[in-house]
A and B are shown apart, each in its own frame.
Chain A
């Protein structure tokens, strides 16, 4: 992150606390002054301010719709986030409130104050209060677990009290002694219990404990030199962020309890940390009234931890932890505290019925089958309902959440997201289109690499175009439909040059349809829409075709001349994500080249871009940095993805000093053109970075680059030759495919024999290397000779000469035999 970390003065200097709403859209901070601030996530605008009567706020908890704020005057007040105004005072204590905690469904709020008892108040009906009275000293912190059925109460006597709230009469189920320190209620150090998102364990300042048997499990140690002042699990439980009163801030990996990163730029003691529910953003507030929103909180190399699915808590003897290393989506099933294991049918039922139906948390496995209501109070309808709308906190438990396949998002190749007020709509070898957000409108600029051929242009854009496609002939734009202005989605094409007056045109899509991706080729315009249609127009706006894509929703599309490749979400694979399928269509001839074939992507890799090479072969680039090209794609069923370059194995990265990734732009002139992204950037930004090109290098084998001694260098050279052979054969088959299937130009036709000679040249060099090695490598040398493509016999003649030069007479004889047999047509390719 380039920008220096700067605190946002949120409140008057003093203890400040924060909370993210569960949907991650808002961030609420409270402090000593009489105002609450509501920040919008991802926006640098001034926060909304709720002026309140109380001051000296000590705690905040939020749901999507409202927040609950505790203050030193003992009041706990509920504010609406929809209207940004106060709704009601939920409860009033006689002594300062120290902590509030909301159950996950927002139904109940637990209030810790300097009074001896903890109050649990219903947020809709403040008359319904539960009192927890088992502790002997004032309570410092309260914390609901994920299911909302257990409340952890950290008391100043150094004991954590666990209450079960599943019945109307709360029950103390466990006193955990000797875990937390004895702390006064008003010190900065914290004893708050942080539940792991999978609900089986919690972290408390000193150690982690499993909830099943309340045994101490794993300790995160060695990061802080003083008391912990705040801790928070990442939304998926894979990481833990902790802050100490010694002004330290650490990130831990849950699985190994390893310290991932320690930040040393903290100025004041952090009092509250909260992760953003989805993004790599973590915010914290300190005791000086400041809020820090830390983007890219988890450093790039560890950011993958945030994206993986829910992680199990670290347990001793945990069967799950054996397999938790892989990032597959797991259906966590915690061990039962008393050995009652759920049968497979139960699991199945849970999946069918959804999270709340019968998936009780492990604490209250008692089934209320006779309806006597000893386990819980029936609600006003007199029935257990799947949706907990009263009676008790919902037993929403993340590991049993309904299973949702992950669908690949649609994207426009060559575009970047907003950064600041500008973004690239399109960036390719012709030029680039960028837009600037001016609030009421955008301004679009189109610049060309070739300034002689085309003139740059610039216009004010009231439609707020969000996609663009640029080529030598014109520029295509599209905008979203807008509900406010009743504006429909529009496609706008502007040709660069015409011989009549300018013939730019606009066409509206039917109401409710939105362009998800589009592409412009030399002969047509393709748009995939949110309704699953592929719409094809001519360059003059004539609709040519509309058809529904077989695999939906659409991910992206690209086109080259008459060929259109559309990529969509197909069936769901084993890892819970959909398989991406592509279809290649020739519009003019109305032929399917490939139908619903698989976009070959590895596990956990995403498609970064789809484009055609300058010779018209489809290419993809994935998040692992591999560039693949489609071979034999003109024959149905024959297509296969061949890697052209694995950017991670490039020599320039071999030193390990460079931390860079590449943003694909094009494949042209047998080179991969890209933009170098430094560090954890994912997209290029302004000012426009230079294009860089890399030669192809098929990942045939890996060898240390710049090897020191001769032997290594020889081996490296050998591998280089092998790679050269594979690459030349690939290019040969690409070229011959092109010539066989299209009306190729003479230049293209001339290229095939050239490529053939390249293949044979690589083979000759390999043969020479084998001959040099010794007589015993003769068999391999003969095999290499047999691979020669050349039919005239010249290459085999050359091979024979090489063998003679190295005095490999037997080999020479065999090669001559082979050449003779070939010449009379005895050896067919099939026989070899």
Chain B
């Protein structure tokens, strides 16, 4: 029998993965570039800020060889602004959006132009560069916001101007968003769906077990109804009638 792990990433795995995100570091001593599995790192030359993977930055931080610059979205103003967005009545249904995607790299006018298509891979959320460096967008929470915020607050506390305020805002944000997620799942049944745009990796990992259980249970309860519906559908199809607007299956699959 395989490991009794639930499907998908567990919170600790997400927490581990977020350490690959780059953060901006202000080195306190020189260090040549390192050839690492995750790619080469830049040479450290004080006081030039350099992006480094979070795990390496935390290591250097612990050895007091570097300071970490918190990303712009981890400032009091930015977090307050995002929290305002989350708690505003008009946008109460929404999560604050993820950072803007970079402009598409494939701008080929004629499809499949090999010259201009440097790499046809368009990156999105967890793979974006500069999500947590000093160049990050200030008014949006990136995919790994909760994990990075937590790690930086714990291990690089002295690099924050107003640590307590940041910590409080992060906790507020987490609670607001979590309650939104929970509220969304109240309406979950066979036909329900929750729009989860902008939800971070850790948040998904945290609610996955609960939601998966609920949805599975509901499905089991509704199995007989579903089967009869499917039968009816096949009948209708055989009778040549176009299937009516049943999108329930797709929505559920998305979770």
Contact = CB atoms under 8 A, between A and B. Distances in A.
Whether A associates with B in a native complex is: yes
Interface in A708-725: 713, 717
Contacts of B69: 690
B124 interface: no
Nearest to B49: A693
A713 B26 contact: no
Contacts of B107: 717
A669 B48 contact: yes
Interface string B42-60: 0001111100000000000
A452 B47 contact: no
B30 A690 contact: no
B28 interface: yes
Given A451-B29, A805-B115, A713 B103 contact: yes
B231 interface: no
Contacts of A772: 109
| Contact-residue size bin, chain A (C-beta under 8 Å from the other chain) | 20 to 34
Contacts of A451: 28-29, 46
Nearest to B113: A805
Residue with the highest number of chain A CB atoms closer than 10 Å, among B28, B29, B48, B116: B48
Contact of A429 (B47, B110, B134): B47
A775 B42 CA distance: 44
Interface string B98-109: 000001000101
Contact of B29 (A453, A693, A717, A805): A453
Nearest to B159: A690
Interface in B37-84: 45-49, 65, 69
Nearest to B44: A450
Given A691-B49, A693-B48, A452 B115 contact: no
Contacts, number: 46
A129 interface: no
Interface string B2-46: 000000000000000000000000111110000000000000011
Interface string A798-816: 0001100110000000000
A801 B27 CA distance: 45
Contact of B28 (A452, A692, A693, A802): A452
A126 interface: no
| Contact-residue size bin, chain B (C-beta under 8 Å from the other chain) | 20 to 34
A592 interface: no
B48 A450 contact: no
A449 interface: yes
Nearest to B103: A713
B115 A450 contact: no
A826 interface: no
Contacts of B46: 448-451
Contact of A450 (B28, B110, B116): B28
Given A449-B46, A449-B47, A668-B48, A690 B113 contact: no
B23 to A, nearest CB: 14
Given A450-B28, A450-B29, A453-B30, A768 B116 contact: yes
A669 B44 CA distance: 12
Given A668-B48, A768-B116, A805-B113, A690 B26 contact: yes
Interface string A436-460: 0000000000001111110000000
Contacts of B45: 450
Given A429-B47, A693-B48, A768-B116, A452 B29 contact: yes
A452 B47 CA distance: 12
Residue with the highest number of chain B CB atoms closer than 10 Å, among A449, A673, A692, A772: A449
Contacts of B110: 805-806
B216 to A, nearest CB: 43
A452 B29 CA distance: 5
A69 to B, nearest CB: 49
Given A805-B110, A805-B113, A805-B115, A452 B30 contact: yes
A449 B28 contact: yes
Nearest to A771: B109
Interface string A751-771: 000000000000000001000
A801 B29 CA distance: 48
Contacts of B113: 805
Contacts of A448: 46
Nearest to A713: B103
B29 to A, nearest CB: 3
Contacts of B49: 691, 693
A508 B113 CA distance: 71
A194 B134 CA distance: 53
Contacts of B47: 429, 449-450, 691
A713 B102 CA distance: 12
Contacts of A805: 110, 113, 115
Nearest to B29: A452
Nearest to B28: A451
Contacts of B27: 450
B67 to A, nearest CB: 9
A713 B107 CA distance: 12
Contacts of B109: 772, 806
A92 B28 CA distance: 73
Given A429-B47, A693-B48, A802 B26 contact: no
Residue with the highest number of chain A CB atoms closer than 10 Å, among B47, B103, B109, B113: B47
Contacts of B115: 768, 801-802, 805
Nearest to B72: A652
Contacts of A802: 115
Residue with the highest number of chain B CB atoms closer than 10 Å, among A669, A690, A713: A690
A669 B47 CA distance: 12
Contacts of A690: 26, 69
B64 to A, nearest CB: 9
A696 B65 CA distance: 29
Interface in B109-147: 109-110, 113, 115-116, 134
A451 B26 CA distance: 12
A691 B113 CA distance: 42
A393 to B, nearest CB: 57
Interface string A659-693: 00000000011000100000000000000001111
Interface string A106-143: 00000000000000000000000000000000000000
Contacts of A673: 48
Interface string A774-807: 0000000000000000000000000001100110
B154 to A, nearest CB: 21
A673 B49 CA distance: 10
A429 B29 CA distance: 13
B44 to A, nearest CB: 10
Contacts of B26: 690-691
A449 B26 CA distance: 9
A692 B115 CA distance: 36
Contacts of A449: 28, 46-47
A805 B113 CA distance: 8
Residue with the highest number of chain A CB atoms closer than 10 Å, among B28, B46, B69: B46
Contacts of B116: 768
Contacts of A713: 103
A669 B26 CA distance: 15
- Nearest 9 pairs of A and B residues by beta carbon: A452-B29, A449-B47, A449-B46, A450-B46, A451-B28, A772-B109, A691-B47, A450-B29, A451-B29
28 contacts: A429-B47, A429-B48, A448-B46, A449-B46, A449-B47, A450-B30, A450-B45, A450-B46, A450-B47, A451-B28, A452-B28, A452-B30, A453-B29, A453-B30, A668-B48, A669-B48, A673-B48, A690-B26, A691-B47, A693-B48, A717-B103, A717-B107, A768-B115, A768-B116, A802-B115, A805-B113, A806-B109, A806-B110
Given A452-B65, A669-B48, A691-B26, 19 more contacts: A449-B46, A449-B47, A450-B28, A450-B30, A450-B45, A451-B46, A452-B30, A453-B29, A453-B30, A673-B48, A690-B26, A691-B47, A691-B49, A692-B134, A713-B103, A802-B115, A805-B110, A805-B115, A806-B110
Interface of A: 429, 448-453, 668-669, 673, 690-693, 713, 717, 768, 772, 801-802, 805-806
